[in-house]
Amino acid sequence: MIQRLSHVTVYVLDQDAAYDFYVNKLGFEVRTDNNMEGFRWLTVGPKAQPGLEIVLMALFPNPMMDAETVNTIRALVAKGAMGTGVLETADCQKTYEELKAKGVEFLYPPTERFYGIEALMKDNSGNWFSICQPKPWAG
């Protein structure tokens, strides 16, 4: 039986630049940074969520992806067409201000939604994430 999601892949255009962005701007910690059979296995994650590893995956032809597919995905990432997930925060406005001061690009500022307060940011490759302060639900 499946018990949890442990890894998720985010395709990046440059692993060194992605490392800098996710660690020095978002404040994630490095979980793994090793060379493995000709490619770099780089994972990061939020400090408060030790069981999740975000794989910052370079795009290169491999047994699962030919060069044409790699080029298509690379173009979509660079275009900003890849939404990759929701990053939860206790204070969206404060997180927005801190990240904006570090040079993080936002598509829109904190905005009230039915599910909470959300801002939309882009990483340095073009992937976008929702930064969300969820609304407390009556249960």
pLDDT digits (tens, 9 = 90+) for 104-131: 999 999 999 999 999 999 999 999 999 9
Rounded to two decimals, the pTM is 0.92
Report how far Cα 32 is from the mean position of its chain's Cα atoms.
16
- Cα separation, 52 vs 4, in Å, equals 9
- Cα separation, 129 vs 139, in Å, equals 27
pLDDT digits (tens, 9 = 90+) for 63-73: 889 999 999 99
CATH superfamily of 7-134: 2,3-Dihydroxybiphenyl 1,2-Dioxygenase, domain 1 (3.10.180.10)
pLDDT digits (tens, 9 = 90+) for 8-39: 999 999 999 999 999 999 999 999 999 988 88
Q: What residue has token string 């829109």?
A: 108
Is 75:59 a contact under the CB 8 Å cutoff?
no
Mean pLDDT computed over every residue of the chain: 95
- Cα separation, 24 vs 31, in Å, equals 14
- Which SS3 state, helix, strand or coil, does residue 82 take? coil
